Amino acid sequence: MQIAQLKKDDRFEGFVLVRTAEQRTSNANGSKYLDMTLTDASGEINAKMWDGNALPPPSGSVVKVRSTIQEYNGRLQMRVERMRAAAKNDAVDYSALTKVAPEPAEKMYGEIMDTVAGMTWEPLRKLMEKLLGLTKEKLMYYPAAQRLHHAERSGLLHHTVSMLRAAKVLLPLYPFLNADLLCAGVIAHDLSKTTEMQADEMGIVPDYTVSGLLLGHLIEGTHLVNEAARAAGVEGEECVLLLNHMLISHHGQPEFGSPKAPMFPEAEALHMIDDLDAKMNQMEDVMSRTPAGVFSDRIWAFDRRLYHPRYPGTEELPFEDADDILKKGGYDGLL
């Protein structure tokens, strides 16, 4: 059973990932206990273990727990009875523990490499090859964000390839766009998320890096491009300048972090495809957790409630449940 499916009074025994764990002291009677956040690919749950001798497991480690699900202040809570670290010979299904991109990283990476190999703008192709060489290792498992869209193992590849496909189907409709330049922008635009965020190989981001906080992936991205341009011997080529502009302008406006707004068509198209793909990814996520005919709670990234339409053929919630949800004032779309 996955965490998202747990209900009050369920019994749960299985492997989970430790996000946080600390030892605390009860105010009521002074006894010690563990306060933890445990996760799997489906969601997370607060857990208590009332054992003064238990030590908090390292965050990021996998543990096996035996527990009961209770409700506290209207939220589910896992009361852990026994817990141990996962052992080498445990048959842990790691893919069930963290969210992972829906396609294999190698396949997605291959699609990017093929695109680059097909570029006819020579200096740009050389630049892109070097750029991917500099970042490949982390690119294989990095998520696209800490919490918002594509927050999953290889999420950065997922987001990039998804955008690349959108770019490719739109290019024939707007033939004045330069295909190589737009594809290069798509592939390069978020590469410096690998230097902006700290992520482990599960795709989890505990924090940003020092340089990530002081410069951000837009500026760091241009430094990476400059490094690749030197390595490729294409410094001073127009395409280096164009790509740098695309990187710093891809958030569209100053208040979203871009010191310059997009000033040529491929830069504008990059910004819009990025925005479209991120929004569609988040919308799909909210819909998957909101029954048809029902509004979600306010979603932070959109600053509004979202509605799951009753498309023909969709299975609706039984009347009483939907009614109940409406009475409570909305569905908590984010678990």
Residues 186-245 that bind a second copy (CB under 8 A): 198, 206-207, 210-211, 213-216, 218-219, 222-223, 226, 238, 241-242, 244-245
Residue 280 as a binder of a second copy (CB under 8 A): the answer is: yes
Interaction of residue 287 with a second copy, rule CB under 8 A: yes
Q: With binding defined as CB under 8 A, does residue 24 bind a second copy?
A: yes
How many Å apart are CA 241 and CA 230, to the nearest integer? 13
CB-nearer residue toward a second copy: 41 or 197: 197
Q: Is 318 in the site for a second copy (CB under 8 A)?
A: no
Q: Looking at 176, 315, 319, 320, which residue binds a second copy (CB under 8 A)?
A: 176
Question: CA 227, CA 210: separation in Å to the nearest integer?
Answer: 20
- Tell me which residues in 100-139 interact with a second copy (CB under 8 A): 120-122
46 binds a second copy, rule: CB under 8 A = no
Which C-beta is closer to a second copy: that of 40 or that of 220?
220
| Total Cβ atoms within 10 A of residue 205 | 18
Residue 308 sits in the site that holds a second copy (CB under 8 A): yes
In the beta sheet, which residues pair with residue 35? 22, 48
Total of chain residues touching a second copy, rule CB under 8 A? 88
| Part of the chain binding a second copy (CB under 8 A), chosen from 21-29, 85-93, 94-102, 133-141 | 21-29
Taking residues 242 to 271 in sequence order and writing x for each that binds a second copy by CB under 8 A, - otherwise, the string is x-xx--x-----xx-xxxxx-xxxx-xx--
User: Shortest gap between Cβ of 3 and a second copy (angstroms)?
Assistant: 19
- The yes or no reply on residue 1 touching a second copy (CB under 8 A) is no
Q: Binding segment for a second copy among 88-96, 132-140, 185-193, 326-334 (CB under 8 A)?
A: 326-334
- Distance from C-alpha of 20 to C-alpha of 334, rounded to nearest angstrom: 20
| Region near a second copy per CB under 8 A, out of 99-107, 129-137, 182-190, 281-289 | 281-289
Q: Does 10 bind a second copy (CB under 8 A)?
A: no
Instruction: Report the nearest approach of a second copy to the CB of residue 128 (Å).
Output: 15
Binding mask 146-165 for a second copy (x = CB under 8 A): ----------------x--x
Interface residue with a second copy among 87, 173, 315, 320 (CB under 8 A) is: 173
Which residue type sits at 153? R
CA separation, residue 212 to residues 104, 130, 166, 195, 207 (Å): 27, 22, 28, 6, 10
Q: Is 327 in the site for a second copy (CB under 8 A)?
A: yes
Q: Provide the minimum distance between the beta carbon of 142 and a second copy in the complex, in angstroms, as a whole number.
A: 17
Is the separation of the CB atoms in 92 and 15 below 8 Å? yes
Shortest reach from residue 280's CB to a second copy, in Å? 5
When the beta carbons of 82 and 93 are compared against a second copy, the nearer one is 82
Nearest to 192 by CA among 214, 165, 167, 168: 214
User: What are the distances in angstroms from CA 110 to CA 40, 133, 183, 226, 243?
Assistant: 28, 13, 14, 24, 22
Cβ 250 to a second copy, closest distance in Å?
12
